Amino acid sequence: MKSIVFATNNAHKLAEARAILEGKVEVRSLNDIDCHDDIPETAPTLEGNALMKARWVSERYGVDCFADDTGLEVDALGGEPGVRSARYAPGAGHDSAANMKLLLENLAGKDDRTARFRTVVALITDGKELTVDGKCEGRITESPSGASGFGYDPIFQPAGENRTFAEMSDAEKNAISHRGEAMRRLAELL
């Protein structure tokens, strides 16, 4: 079975990718290749960040790898937080509670709560670069609900569902999520 490194430090994303790609490829972590660096994500687009991370790991460690970047796009906020989703709230980055709080504050009084998650996965294998994407339409709830998942999952309700991602099992979420769709496309490429 082919082995490939997922260029992420996010344990939740790693677990999701391993579950989705199980039996297709062996997904190795950055820890598995002894990479403990903070990989830059400074591009203005999801695709740019995914490619930046994949290239960074491939060039420094000489491995086939893939990386993703995901953004939550809220229509009433002009597509924000988008590429800045993980660092939406001021201060230290990757504070999910602060990010959700700010998003809900910015949506206060707005009737249009439509949103979507978008994921772009960049793959570098056998000297080639490829990208795939996935999208999940939905809406932002009035308040958080559920204890599973991570990031904005407690306030994102996928279209056709009456539960948030955080109220679903991992298998249920992966079957309909943006990352699940992108990872299934990645599996086809591999």
Query: CA separation (Å) from 104 to 71, 74, 81, 111?
Result: 16, 11, 12, 12
Give the active site residues: 69
Residue with tokens 């997922």: 6
Helices (H), the chain: 11-21, 46-61, 96-107, 170-176, 178-189
User: How many C-beta atoms lie closer than 10 Å to residue 61's C-beta?
Assistant: 14
Is residue 79 within 8 Å of residue 116, measured between CB atoms?
Answer: no
